[in-house]
Structure 1
């Protein structure tokens, strides 16, 4: 019986130690400056992915006008917007309608995702 108690205590300590060692890596993601990119339409704020990947992500960036209303079933039309404030590109855009969609869907789905080495703009 004593060996089971020591074994359970050892397992619990191991799990606690693993959880505590993982926390600083997760918190480091929030301490990193927001990556920024400047394009024709304005400034885009991305998201830094720390850890193994170590990348700047720019997600859900619109590349054409939403194909809704009179633009439905037409060829994509150029995006003529100018961003007065930085565009938040820290999360994925909507998926287009399709059978068995498992993500958030919308007709406004003409977006792209980009990634780069961290802080590439500062190196140029």
Structure 2
């Protein structure tokens, strides 16, 4: 017996899966066999390439020390922002990929605090 919901059957869904042009991307992620994992916004499945990318970053940090900033790190916020810009309808140079808003506000307030005259004991917002 084949269950059907509005004419959609398990067999028809499996057929669509076989025809999906993006199906091959699933093999790029570490997922337990047979798992259907739908949470991709907070902690999605780990990309298979993630471990090697982290290892490469740690090796670069160890080997290059501060010189590593000039090997793609210092300009990363702007470079990544320029890649993201067309996806969100922005122009080249209008997007920067940075920390979350809470961290950015904390860093801004820290800068303001360090630049204040010594006699000022508070920052009001």
Q: Same fold (TM over 0.5)?
A: no
Higher strand share: 1
Which protein, 1 or 2, shows the higher relative CO under an 8 Å CA cutoff with sep ≥ 6?
A: 1
Which structure has the greater CA radius of gyration?
Answer: 2
Higher helix share: 2
Q: TM-score range by the shorter chain?
A: under 0.3
- Superposition TM-score, scaled by structure 2 size: 0.27
